[in-house]
Amino acid sequence: MLAEPLMDEQSGLSKTVEAEIGSGLKRLYGQMLSEPIPEKFAGLLEQLAKSSGGKTERS
C-alpha cells in the first residue's frame, strides 16, 4: 500500500506539487529578470519620473 503524500492544509496540495510549482515560478521569474525592459514601458517610467520630479511616494 502506498503512503498518502503529505498535504498542505491551507492549499490542499501535496508538498511535492507545491515544490514543483515553486521551482517553476522561480525559473520563470529568473528568466524575466534577465530580459530587457520594453522601450514603451521604459518611456512611461521616464515620463513618470519627470512629472514627479524624480520622487515617488511610498505607502
What per-residue confidence (pLDDT) applies to 8?
A: 75
Average pLDDT over residues 50-55: 77
Say if CB 52 and CB 44 are below 8 A apart.
no
Spell out the domain ranges in the chain: 1-53
Average pLDDT over residues 11-31: 92
* Mean of per-residue pLDDT scores for the chain: 83
* Helical segments of 1-59, H only: 15-33, 39-51
User: What's the CA angle centered on 10, arms 23 and 28, to 5 degrees?
Assistant: 20
